Amino acid sequence: MSRPTGRRPAAGARPEKILVPLDGSRRGESVLATLTRFARVRPRSVLLLHVFTPALHRGRAAAYHSHSAERMTMERYLSRVGDRLRRGGLEVRALVRSGDPAEEIVNCARRQGVDLVAMSTQGRTGLRRVLLGSVAEAVLRRARRPVLLVRAAGSGRSRP
């Protein structure tokens, strides 16, 4: 297991450890095709990450049940995605976290010492982006690592 180094990769260096945040959607998986082609150059270590924002519930028991159920669902999902990537010769680990997605992605990249964050973007523009926010944009602004953004399949320009 590698240790987080806090270092930035040298310009032109090939990333060895790549963080891939996934939201559980097919559109979110758009980055995987690019990642697979990218990784053929040499073996890579991939860290899959899913971050969910716990819903507000009236009682602790309901919140705990919802949190546990979503965590288990996402762990199974990441396991299936990881299996596909392993068949392509990649070393894969998976994490599920809760909290603000952009903040958790940036913190995970730092703590895990990744060389690159590779993620898809929904391609929101205009008022939709202002109202709904953009996790990809927030990660791009905050990360101290290179970020590869791949437009999600089926994403067109949104209308405000």
pLDDT at position 41, please? 63
Q: Where are the domains of the chain?
A: 17-151
Q: What is the pLDDT of residue 157?
A: 45
- The predicted structure's pLDDT at residue 68: 81
- Distance, CA of 53 to chain centre: 14
Q: Which CATH class is domain 17-151?
A: alpha beta
- Worst-scoring range by mean pLDDT, 12-21, 60-69, 79-88? 60-69
Q: Which whole number is the average pLDDT over 5-12?
A: 52
- CA torsion angle for 83, 84, 88, 92 (degrees, to 10)? -40
CA distance 68 to 62: 10
